[in-house]
């Protein structure tokens, strides 16, 4: 099958295309207004004002204070700063997380474990939704941090964060009476910003990590919301930027664009979710009709509106991805950060899939520029290519 003239992008969980309006907002800071926001020159003052405006914009968006917003280089740094920054304020302690977290959460926790901190990764059932009771059962008197993602990046399942937050608040009242140190709750919300509300008080979290590349903003821009009073040890030290919590000259263009993209996503999340649910349902129904044996991974109700994680028995998912790319359809097979490895997805393994099933799994994720026509045409090309595979591998 030859390269199609029109391309269709169904890998928004990896990165979402930059919105034209966001590029326009960034452009002055990539050209004439290039100043360092720490400088007292005219250009520095302009850059500082833009930085302050972006911080204020996100504070309003999250129902937070401006000093609770820390700018970083992306989701990975935001999760590292939250996890390492909070736990390192104590010489020892225990961290609880889940088996389906992004590697940007699991790896810093594994690193801290090698440094002597205790860690527990709670198993997750086949639904892909961790039980809040299982998280609470894993807590110990010396537990200092719980890190549970809001929405999974591979299978799109939503985790019971509100229930956990209520339980943590209750436990902290009891801990205070017993003279124990407080417990802090962090969430990786990188996949959620376009589809779920992120009001900090309503979520009940102490720290929240985001990046803008998932919502039509630039890569290289991340945010850490850190509730006032939450202790933090910086992991990057130097010039004292971000109130001494994250050193390094701020990427003003990316911050301006990222803040605008996140604000836009949060303004339109309800309408966008409704639109994408309809498109995802259309996509799934047509694929299920045409492809015998197709299985959807993860809970069908408690999931992101844009995510379809599908196992197609007997199919080589990596080969399908490459052929579909030639056909003009971009899809995913799991976490983009680990796509260069041949190991099956740790998320799919964690919810009980065999290695063979995991390697036969694709991820279709829709986004802000996905249209009904895109879905109709993508279905045709995907079905055609899968049938081609099955005919040539009998």
Domains of the chain, by residue range, sit at 8-17+269-392, 20-265
**Parallel, antiparallel or unpaired: strands 143-147 and 184-188:** parallel
Q: Catalytic site residue 190?
A: no
Strands in 295-296's sheet, in edge-to-edge order, are 295-296, 307-311, 361-365
pLDDT of residue 391: 84
Residue 338: is its pLDDT beyond 80? no
| Nearby residues of 255 by Cβ (< 8 Å), 6 or more positions away | 50, 51, 54, 71, 221
Angle at 15 between CA 277 and CA 285, to 5 degrees: 30
pLDDT one-digit tens code per residue, 296-325: 999 999 999 999 999 999 899 999 999 999
Q: How confident is the model at residue 1 (pLDDT cuts 50, 70, 90)?
A: very low
> Cα separation of 259 and 382, whole Å?
35
| pLDDT tens-digit series, residues 98-117 | 999 999 999 999 999 999 99
What percent of the chain lies above the pLDDT cut of 70?
A: 96
Task: For residue 258, name the pLDDT band (cuts at 50, 70, 90).
Answer: very high
Alpha carbon distance 191, 336 (integer Å): 13
Q: CATH for 8-17+269-392?
A: 3.90.1150.10
Q: Please tell me the pTM assigned to this model.
A: 0.95
Residue 335's pLDDT band, with cuts at 50, 70 and 90, is very low
**Residue 386, pLDDT above cutoff 90:** yes
Q: Residue 336: what pLDDT?
A: 47
d(CA 348, CA 326): 26
- HSE of 325, CA atoms in CB hemisphere, 13 A: 10
pLDDT, position 349: 96
3-state helix, strand, coil in the chain (%, to 5): 45, 15, 40
Mean pLDDT of the chain: 95
pLDDT average, residue stretch 349-365: 96
Q: What is the pLDDT of residue 18?
A: 97
| Residues in Cβ contact with 389 at an 8 Å cutoff, skipping those fewer than 6 apart | 315, 316, 319, 320, 323
Those residues whose C-beta lies under 8 Å from the C-beta of residue 80, and which sit 6 or more positions away, are: 104, 108, 235
pLDDT of residue 390: 83
Cβ neighbours of 31 (radius 10 Å): 9
- Averaged pLDDT for residues 273-286: 97
Q: If you search the block for the tokens 């100043």, which residue do you land on?
A: 35
The one catalytic residue in 337, 349, 377, 380 is 337
Task: For residues 34-60, give the mean pLDDT.
Answer: 96
Model confidence pLDDT, tens digit, residues 197-249? 999 999 999 999 999 999 999 999 999 999 999 999 999 999 999 999 999 99
CATH number for the domain whose boundaries are 20-265? 3.40.640.10
Nearest 10 degrees: Cα torsion 186, 192, 193, 194: 180
At 92, is the pLDDT very low, low, confident or very high (cuts 50, 70, 90)? very high
20-265 has the same fold as 8-17+269-392:
no
Whether residue 2 is predicted with pLDDT greater than 80 in this model: the reply is: no
Report whether 331 contacts 11 (CB < 8 A): yes
pLDDT score of 5: 53
At 3 the pLDDT is 46
Average pLDDT over residues 147-163: 97
Instruction: Give tens-digit pLDDT for 174-184.
Output: 999 999 899 99
Is 28 exposed, middle or buried (CB count within 10 Å of its CB: 0-12, 13-18, 19+)? middle
């Amino acid at each position: 099958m030859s390269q199609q003239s029109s391309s269709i992008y169904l890998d928004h969980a990896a990165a979402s295309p930059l919105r034209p309006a966001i590029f326009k907002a960034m452009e002055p800071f990539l050209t004439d207004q290039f100043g360092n926001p720490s400088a007292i020159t005219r250009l520095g003052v302009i850059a500082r004002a833009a930085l302050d405006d972006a911080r204020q914009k996100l504070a309003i968006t999250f129902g937070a204070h401006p000093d609770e917003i820390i700018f970083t280089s992306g989701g990975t740094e935001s999760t590292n700063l939250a996890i390492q920054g909070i736990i390192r304020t104590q010489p020892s302690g225990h961290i609880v997380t889940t088996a389906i977290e992004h590697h940007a959460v699991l790896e810093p926790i594994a690193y801290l474990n090698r440094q002597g901190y205790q860690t527990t990764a709670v198993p997750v059932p086949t639904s892909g939704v961790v039980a809040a009771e299982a998280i609470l059962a894993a807590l110990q008197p010396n537990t200092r941090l719980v890190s549970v993602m809001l929405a999974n990046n591979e299978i799109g399942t939503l985790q019971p964060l509100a229930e956990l937050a209520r339980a943590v608040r209750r436990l902290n009242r009891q801990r205070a009476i017993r003279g124990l140190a407080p417990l802090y709750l962090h969430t990786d919300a990188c996949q959620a910003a376009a589809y779920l509300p992120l009001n900090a008080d309503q979520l009940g979290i102490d720290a929240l990590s985001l990046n803008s590349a998932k919502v039509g903003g630039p890569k290289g821009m991340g945010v850490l919301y850190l509730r006032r009073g939450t202790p933090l040890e910086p992991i990057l030290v130097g010039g004292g930027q971000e109130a001494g919590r994250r050193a390094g000259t701020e990427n003003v263009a990316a911050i301006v664009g990222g803040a605008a993209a996140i604000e836009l996503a949060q303004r339109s999340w309800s309408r966008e979710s409704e639109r994408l649910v309809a498109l995802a349902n259309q996509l799934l129904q047509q694929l299920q009709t045409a492809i015998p044996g197709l299985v959807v991974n993860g809970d069908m109700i408690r999931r992101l509106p844009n995510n379809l994680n599908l196992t197609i028995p007997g199919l080589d998912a990596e080969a399908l991805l490459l052929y579909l790319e030639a056909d003009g359809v971009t899809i995913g097979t799991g976490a983009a950060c680990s796509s260069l490895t041949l190991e099956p997805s740790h998320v799919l393994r964690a919810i009980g899939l065999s290695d063979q099933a995991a390697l036969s799994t694709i991820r279709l994720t829709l986004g802000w520029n996905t249209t009904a026509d895109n879905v109709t045409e993508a279905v045709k090309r995907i079905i055609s290519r899968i049938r081609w595979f099955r005919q040539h591998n009998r």
